Structure 1
Amino acid sequence: MNFCLRQQPGQELRPTVMVDDVFLEEAESVKFLGMYLDRGLTWDDHIESICSKVASGIYVLRNLAKFCFMDVLKMAYFGLIHPRLTYGLRLWGSCSKYKFERVFRSQKKAVRILSKLNSRESCKETFRELGLLTLPCLYILEVTLYCRFKCELLQGRDVHQYGTRGRDSFRIEQHRTTAFEHLPSQVGVRLINRLPEGIKQLNDPNKIKA
């Protein structure tokens, strides 16, 4: 597969690959480590896969809700729904707002089943009552933890000794493309810089989660 992030039809470089005198057919989408990747990294196929798997989990939840208590339903939610939402979230979470909202609506549908709400009732308070994080909150948590503990970050104090306002803020790398701006390492820095100073300096991921 040949990745092409710039949408310029007719100008893409399409190299020909031959192995053992056989030309390899170029794929528009491939599955790698459980994630579907397409040429433009639009996450279309992966979002479709997530929604399909979550829908299957919702079907099971709906049937369990007829005779099971909440503790069993929550176990089913964390076994059938939650892993589908969080796997690779820090990567595909930067997809378009429409695609992200589509997955979020699936999560809310599952939560309404847990709390026995109809499709028109708000489930905002239900997330708090059940101790569940919404999909946007899960994305923020995943990206923040990844950036804080897996990436090498520089603060203003590491670059200069002046007492500027941004001395304790983590620095964002210079870039020119939207694709770079949506990288987890870049999104995470912006999120970390918005945290209170006491939380920003914590070195224990479990304390940040709390």
Structure 2
Amino acid sequence: MDSHLRWADHIENLKKRIRRYFHTFLSLRKFMSLPLLKEIYFALIQSALEYGICAYGRADPTILDKLKTAQNIVLKIIYKKEKRFSTNILYKELNILNVEKLFQKNICAVIHKKRDTLLRTKELNYNLRRINLETPRCKTKKGQKAIEYIGIKLYETIPPEIKQLDKIKSFKNQLKLWLKNKN
């Protein structure tokens, strides 16, 4: 993040970090099984992508596309797919979320954890499962990039049966399945 609160430098560094693993995965795929390579992917690539994604995931989509491209290349290297192979098919087959959906999953998990505090206090006496969160009003584009604004808007699109889950792990698992099948 630079002095103007832009994430371009951070995303560029993250992209370079992921690109450094291209050769590693090219070498490892020759003698390692796919499940083991997938575990290494989660340890090295996805963990790096998820760290801080609630903050940098709100960056301009053109900047995030560079990160998504690096993620796509790593997956195609691991699974020996040609450059033109559809990444949408690859993500669905592998049960892996792209950068955009990782952001959605993580931001919704934050809102889910804090949903009780985001409700107005007078509403807390009622059944929380049927109450929708109130999206804050924003007059500027900058305000519309606030975590509360984006998070609540995304959270409200989740099916009620997923929102009703109390355990965060169950919520994240069901949310991941829903996001994977969405679009």
Interval containing the TM-score (normalised by the shorter chain): 0.7 to 0.9
Compute the displacement of 1:194 (Å).
1.1
SS at match of 2:118: coil
Pairing 1:90-101 to 2, within 5 Å after superposition? 90-101=54-65
Aligned residue type for 2:142: A
Aligned residue type for 1:186: Y
Indicate yes or no: 2:143 matched with 1:153.
no
The residue that corresponds to 2:8 in the other structure is 44
Aligned residue type for 1:185: E
The residue that corresponds to 1:127 in the other structure is 91
> How far apart, CA to CA, are the structure 2 residues paired with 1:119 and 1:40?
36
Q: Which has the higher helix share?
A: 2
SS at match of 2:20: helix
> How far apart, CA to CA, are the structure 2 residues paired with 1:72 and 1:158?
48
> How far apart, CA to CA, are the structure 2 residues paired with 1:88 and 1:113?
25
Pairing 1:20-35 to 2, within 5 Å after superposition? none
Q: For structure 1, list consecutive stretches of 5 or more residues without a partner in the other structure.
A: 1-36, 162-166
Tell me, yes or no, if the aligned pair for 1:61 and 1:76 is still in contact at 8 Å. no
Pairing 1:156-195 to 2, within 5 Å after superposition? 158=123, 168-195=131-158
Q: Which has the higher strand share?
A: 1
Give 4+ residue runs of structure 1 displaced > 4 Å after superposition.
none
Tell me, yes or no, if the aligned pair for 1:112 and 1:118 is still in contact at 8 Å. yes
Pairing 1:101-140 to 2, within 5 Å after superposition? 101-140=65-104
1:175/1:123 CA distance change after superposition, 3 Å:
closer
> How far apart, CA to CA, are the structure 2 residues paired with 1:175 and 1:126?
37
Larger radius of gyration: 1
SS at match of 2:142: helix
- Identity percentage over the alignment? 25
> How far apart, CA to CA, are the structure 1 residues paired with 2:170 and 2:31?
37
Q: For structure 2, list consecutive stretches of 5 or more residues without a partner in the other structure.
A: 174-183
> How far apart, CA to CA, are the structure 2 residues paired with 1:71 and 1:104?
22
More relative contact order, 1 or 2 (CA 8 Å, 6+ apart): 2
Tell me, yes or no, if the aligned pair for 2:136 and 2:148 is still in contact at 8 Å. no
Deviations 1:71-105 (A, max 9, x none): 22112211221122111001000100101111011
Aligned residue type for 2:118: L
**CA RMSD, 1 decimal:** 2.1
Tell me, yes or no, if the aligned pair for 2:134 and 2:152 is still in contact at 8 Å. yes
